[in-house]
Amino acid sequence: MTNLIVSPTALAFAVVLVLIALGINLHEKIGLEKDMVIGVVRAVVQLTVVGYVLTYIIKVDRLWLTGLMVAIILFNAALNANKRAAGIPHAFPISLLAIGTATILTLALLVGAGALRFTPSQIVPVSGMIASNSMVAIGLAYRSMNTQFRDQRQAVLERLALGADLKQASRAIVREAIRTGMAPTIDSAKTVGIVSLPGMMSGLIFAGVDPTKAIMYQIMVTFMLLAATSIGSVIACYLAYPRFYNADEQLR
């Protein structure tokens, strides 16, 4: 398994799979063909560039370069979460604060506990895992809040008319948004090892690492992602819900 090499032929077959997915999308008129093509092209370009950049950063092993790479990851994660906000004011700084807090706090705890060393080969990939999961959770939470504030507009207005403050009027919506954001990570934790075989654990075992240590590492990663998505979703939702009201505390 350690000598597996992806040949040009194998890569060509992978492209065929993408074409099949694209063909299904066109046949069913789903309307995602443009996003699929852009996603494939961006994935190839970004992975190629990042692969060479990471090789350089790992070889140089400088603190400021590692920090810069983490900052770039956080910025792009917040930018992508902002795209899912659908008009929520100040969604980008909220996303950046939420994702940054979740990522940095989790990394600090792991480094402090000795589970990670502050080296680019460890910090950059793990920060990417944390930020990407937080990004997805926050994006789902934003969508949930937009939908619920629209669908429950009358109920929110009634609560405000009865004297509820903004937090009381929005509490149920915020809680449901947090649950929606965390749902994929929780479902993943429930099915890990039964439905999905974690790539990190499998890779460590294939590389000859003691299975017990690989299992412990994967458990740590699972707990890390649960904590990060929880922190990120809570921060983003509680900072975002007041944006649905104007200065006079009226629902926009």
Q: What is the pTM (predicted TM-score) of this model?
A: 0.81
Q: Which of 34, 60, 86 is the last residue of a domain?
A: 60
What range defines the domain where residue 83 resides? 62-244
Per-residue pLDDT tens over the stretch 158-168: 888 888 889 89
Smallest CA-to-CA distance from 85 within 245, 236, 250, 251 is with 236
Does residue 101 surpass a pLDDT of 90?
Answer: yes
**Residue 246 zone, left/alpha/beta (φ > 0; ψ -120 to 50; rest):** beta
Which whole-number Å values give the CA distances from 156 to 174, 248, 252, in the listed order? 12, 15, 11
**Res 234 pLDDT > 80:** yes
Distance CA(213)–CA(196), nearest Å, equals 19
Same domain, 120 and 164: yes
pLDDT grade for 4, boundaries at 50, 70 and 90: low
**Mean pLDDT of all residues in 119-148:** 91
**Same domain (yes/no): 11, 67:** no
54-89 burial, b for 16+ CB within 10 Å, e for fewer? beebeeeeeeebbeebbeebbbbbbebbbebbeebe
Residues contacting residue 240 through CB under 8 Å, at least 6 positions apart: 85, 88, 91, 94, 141, 142, 145
The average confidence (pLDDT) of the chain is 86
User: Which pLDDT belongs to residue 178?
Assistant: 94
Question: Where residue 22 falls among pLDDT bands split at 50, 70, 90?
Answer: confident
pLDDT by residue (tens digit) across 112-128? 888 888 888 888 888 99
pLDDT at 1 over 50: no
| 197 band by pLDDT with thresholds 50, 70 and 90 | low
Burial grade of 28 (CB within 10 A; 0-12, 13-18, 19 or more): exposed
Q: Would residue 251 count as lying in a domain?
A: no
- Token pair, residue 89, equals 């004011």
End-of-domain residue from the set 12, 28, 60: 60
The answer to whether residues 121 and 25 belong to one domain is no
* Shared-domain flag, residues 163 and 238: yes
Q: Is residue 106 part of a domain?
A: yes
Is residue 135 domain-shared with residue 11, that is, in the same domain?
no
pLDDT for 204 beyond 70: no
Q: What value does the mean pLDDT take over residues 224-237?
A: 92
Determine contact, residues 184/196, Cβ cutoff 8 Å: no
Q: Can you tell me which residue has the tokens 């790539």?
A: 199
C-alpha closest to that of 241 among 179, 181, 177, 184:
177
Of 12, 45, 60, the one marking the end of a domain is 60
Q: Quick one: 50 and 73 in the same domain?
A: no
Q: What's the Cα-to-Cα distance from 162 to each of 50, 71, 169, 184, 246, rounded to whole Å?
A: 54, 45, 10, 36, 18
228 and 126 both lie in a single domain: yes
Lowest pLDDT segment from 115-124, 209-218, 241-250: 209-218
Length of the chain: 252
Q: Looking at per-residue confidence, does 234 or 249 come out higher?
A: 234
Q: What is the pLDDT of residue 216?
A: 80
Between 197 and 106, name the one with better pLDDT: 106
Asked if the structure places residue 109 within a domain, the reply is yes
Phi-psi region of 123 (alpha: psi -120 to 50; beta: other; left: phi over 0): alpha
Query: What's the distance, CA 160 to chain centroid?
Result: 34
Tally of domains in the chain: 2
Shared domain check, 174 and 149: yes
Residue 198 has pLDDT above 80, yes or no: no
**Does residue 252 fall inside a structural domain?**
no
Q: Which two tokens stand for residue 190?
A: 């429930």
Query: Are 52 and 106 within one domain?
Result: no
Query: Measured between alpha carbons, how far is 221 from 215 in angstroms, rounded to an integer?
Result: 10
32-91: pLDDT as tens digits: 888 888 888 988 898 888 888 878 877 877 888 888 889 999 999 999 999 988 888 899
Say yes or no: 55 and 72 in one domain. Answer: no
